[in-house]
Chain A
Amino acid sequence: MKHYLILSLICTVLAGCGGSNGGPEEALRAWVTAAEAATEERDRSSLLDMISENYADGRGNDHASVGQMLRIYFLRQQSVALLTTIDEIVLSGDTAAMLKLTVGMAGTNNSALGISADAYNFELELQADDDDWLLIGARWGALGEKLH
């Protein structure tokens, strides 16, 4: 009897774990967490893996130029700490999504770094590629500014 109880408890826990796979929205939140962690660890390669080779934005950036932009943050010996808030997740089916984020940089208020401590709004377009979500486009602007 005791064994049945333990077995049923394990099954319940396993079922619970299966149920925690909350679909696209959870995967997108995990994507943001992973991107934030990669940024803070200055792991440019992992970040680039999260960006589609077909990335394009209104500023004319592609995958390569975003890589160069990221280099600016990681080239110098400095730490990057982000404060990210997910403002909205808009799903289009199960394979396309738009994330609205507010991102601030913490611990960078020393003007000698050449970094503004202001927060930015981002609108990220992502597309599901098999099990991974990839960034395919982005718009951004400082808080209060128009995004483009």
Chain B
Amino acid sequence: MKSSTRLQITVSLLAALFLSACASTETMIAAPAVQLKSVELSKIGFNQQTFLLGFDVSNPNAFPLPVKAVKYRLLFDDKNFADGETQGNFTVPAHSSDQFVLSVNVNFLDSATQLTSLLRGGMPDHVNYELQGSLAIDIPFVKPVPFSNAGAIPIKKSPF
């Protein structure tokens, strides 16, 4: 067999393999929907303020999703408000939803977010938010599942 013919066959086989791999590139897990449901200013200190961020996560899959960590980035009025990663230990049932709460510490003196400016001028009723992140699923070989969401949210203030 000529070397050019052999090369053609090899390339054809590789292409066939590649195409068959592409045909099966369906994600294992349908992305869960994560929504910011509440923002509560729970503690005001001189150097630090604590916000409680409440989230709803709904699982569209036919199996429960055990979540071991939540990575998030939250923007208020297009400005970064909080980001980080927190260890989670909850399971979202199949075709159902669950809630989780993140406690976020913010230093107004160091922060220059739009929300900070707004809060300095008085508590706003609503703020526009954009949420991005991923859920680390506690199942071997499953990659973190990304989520994103945007909307407007009222800000509550706890009675101190």
Contact = CB atoms under 8 A, between A and B. Distances in A.
Nearest to A70: B63
Contacts of A75: 28, 62-63
Interface of B: 21, 24-29, 61-64, 66, 94, 138-143, 145
A114 interface: yes
Interface stretch (A1-9, A47-55, A104-112): A104-112
- Closest 3 pairs between A and B when the two form their complex, measured CB to CB: A112-B25, A114-B27, A68-B63
Interface of A: 59, 65, 68-69, 71-73, 75-79, 103, 105, 107-108, 110-118, 120, 122, 140, 142
A28 to B, nearest CB: 20
A69 B139 contact: yes
Nearest to A77: B24
Nearest to B26: A76
B64 A114 contact: no
A108 B142 CA distance: 11
B26 A78 contact: yes
14 contacts: A68-B94, A71-B62, A72-B142, A73-B28, A73-B141, A75-B28, A76-B28, A78-B24, A78-B26, A107-B21, A112-B26, A113-B27, A113-B28, A114-B29
Contact of A118 (B26, B94, B141): B141
Contacts of B26: 76-78, 112-113
Contacts of A142: 140
A112 B141 CA distance: 13
A68 B143 contact: no
A68 B29 CA distance: 13
B27 A112 contact: yes
B143 A114 contact: yes
Contacts of B66: 59
